C-alpha cells in the first residue's frame, strides 16, 4: 500500500455544547486528492484548520507521512518544520498577500524564512514557471493581478516549502468559471509532477467530481458518507448526500469540460 501523506484519527473539537468535529478519521495517500464536502457549519473547515494546525483538536491526532503532528510547538525551528509539512490556500489570497510586496518578494521572503543562506533566484524562476506566471509577473504587486493570477501566486508560495499536503479551502469559489478551469488544470498538473497530496474543502460538487479521487461528506461535525468520488456521486447511499446533489445549483465542472478548457489554453 502507498504511504499516507496525511492521516487524521478520531478528531474531536467542541465549542461549548456544539460538537464542530465529532470522531472524524480519514487518510490521504501520497499524491492523492481527497474532498471534504458539506454545507456551512458541517465541520469541514474546522477539520481543515486542525489538520493545518490553526486549531487544536480536543482529542485525536494528525499524522503526516506517518509522523505525528504534536500540540503547540513554541520553538521557531519546530514551528517552521511543521509549516513545511502542510500548507493551506484560502478562497481570497489577496488577504494573505502583502499589498506592498511584489510577487518575487513574496516568494523570496518565504524561501529565506524556510531555507536561509542559499541563492533563491533559480527556485523563484522555477516556481513562477510551475504555476504558469513566468518572470513577467515577478515585479507585479497583488493589486495589479487578476484573481486567478493571485491564486497562482498563493499556490507558488505554498509549493516553495515543498509540503506533503496542500489544503485548499474553497480555493476556486471566488473565480469565474473559465478561470476555475485553468486553476483546476494547473493543480492537476502539479499533483502529477510533484506527488503532493490535496485536501479540498468545498461546497462545489462539480469541483469534487473533477479533481478528487475520494470524498468525505460531513454533516453536523460527523462523516455521514465516504468513498471513491465517482461511486459516491453516482450512487449516494446517505440521504444527506442525495440532498446535496439535488440542491446543487448547477452540475459544475465535469472532466469533459475541464479537458475542453485545457485545449483552449
pLDDT, tens digit, for every residue of 122-150?
Answer: 999 999 999 999 888 999 999 999 989 99
- State which residues form the domain around 197: 4-264
Instruction: Return the minimum-mean-pLDDT range out of 46-60, 70-84, 237-251.
Output: 70-84
- Compute and round to an integer the Cα radius of gyration of the chain: 18
Cβ neighbours, 10 Å, residue 249: 7
> Ranked by mean pLDDT, which of 119-123, 176-180, 214-218, 260-264 comes out on top?
214-218
Ramachandran bin of 67, using left for φ above 0, alpha for ψ from -120 to 50, beta for the remaining angles:
beta
Query: pLDDT: is 31 or 93 the higher one?
Result: 31
Cell of 80: 517552521
pLDDT band at 253 (very low <50, low <70, confident <90, very high): very low
Burial class (CB in 10 A: 0-12, 13-18, 19+), 227: middle
The string of pLDDT tens digits covering residues 193-232 is: 999 999 999 988 888 988 999 999 999 999 999 999 999 9
DSSP string, 208-242: HHHH-SEEEEEETTEEEEEEEHHHHHHS--SHHHH
- Residue 255's pLDDT is 47
Cell of 8: 487524521
- Residue 70's pLDDT is 61
- Average pLDDT for 160-183: 88
Contact present, 232 and 215 (Cβ < 8 Å):
yes
Is the per-residue pLDDT at 51 higher than 90?
A: yes
Percent of the chain residues past pLDDT 70, beyond the cut: 91
Query: pLDDT: is 145 or 261 the higher one?
Result: 145
pLDDT band at 97 (very low <50, low <70, confident <90, very high): confident
DSSP state of 199: E
Burial class (CB in 10 A: 0-12, 13-18, 19+), 80: middle
Share the mean pLDDT of the chain.
Answer: 87
- Average pLDDT for 146-164: 93
Is the per-residue pLDDT at 261 higher than 50?
A: no
Number of domains the chain contains: 1
Instruction: Return the minimum-mean-pLDDT range out of 151-160, 224-233, 247-256.
Output: 247-256
CATH number, residue 40: 3.40.50.300
- Average pLDDT for 74-90: 82
Contact present, 19 and 10 (Cβ < 8 Å):
no
What are φ and ψ of residue 75, in 5° steps?
A: -70, 140
∠ CA 14-15-17, nearest 5°, is 85
Query: pLDDT: is 163 or 256 the higher one?
Result: 163
Amino acid at each position: 500500500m502507498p504511504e499516507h501523506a496525511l492521516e487524521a484519527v478520531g478528531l474531536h473539537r467542541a465549542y461549548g455544547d456544539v460538537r464542530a468535529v465529532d470522531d472524524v478519521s480519514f487518510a490521504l495517500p501520497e499524491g492523492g486528492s481527497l474532498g471534504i464536502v458539506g454545507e456551512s457549519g458541517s465541520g469541514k473547515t474546522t477539520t481543515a484548520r486542525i489538520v493545518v494546525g490553526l486549531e487544536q483538536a480536543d482529542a485525536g491526532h494528525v499524522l503526516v507521512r506517518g509522523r505525528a503532528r504534536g500540540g503547540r510547538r513554541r520553538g521557531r525551528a519546530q514551528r517552521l518544520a511543521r509549516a513545511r509539512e502542510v500548507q493551506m490556500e484560502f478562497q481570497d489570497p489577496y488577504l494573505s498577500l502583502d499589498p506592498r510586496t511584489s510577487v518575487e518578494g513574496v516568494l523570496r521572503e518565504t524561501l529565506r524564512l524556510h531555507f536561509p543562506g542559499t541563492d533563491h533566484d533559480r527556485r523563484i524562476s522555477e516556481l513562477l514557471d510551475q504555476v504558469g506566471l513566468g518572470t513577467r509577473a515577478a515585479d507585479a504587486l497583488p493589486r495589479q493581478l487578476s484573481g486567478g493570477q493571485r491564486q497562482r501566486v498563493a499556490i507558488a508560495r505554498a509549493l516553495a516549502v515543498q509540503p506533503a499536503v496542500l489544503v485548499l479551502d474553497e480555493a476556486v469559489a471566488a473565480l469565474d468559471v473559465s478561470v476555475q478551469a485553468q486553476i483546476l488544470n494547473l493543480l492537476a498538473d502539479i499533483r502529477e509532477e510533484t506527488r503532493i497530496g490535496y485536501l479540498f474543502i468545498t461546497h462545489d460538487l462539480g469541483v469534487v467530481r473533477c479533481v478528487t479521487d475520494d470524498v468525505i461528506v460531513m454533516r453536523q461535525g460527523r462523516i455521514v458518507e465516504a468513498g471513491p468520488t465517482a461511486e459516491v456521486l453516482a450512487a449516494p447511499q446517505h440521504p444527506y448526500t442525495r440532498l446535496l446533489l439535488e440542491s446543487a445549483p448547477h452540475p459544475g465542472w465535469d472532466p469533459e469540460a475541464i479537458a475542453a478548457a485545457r485545449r483552449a489554453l
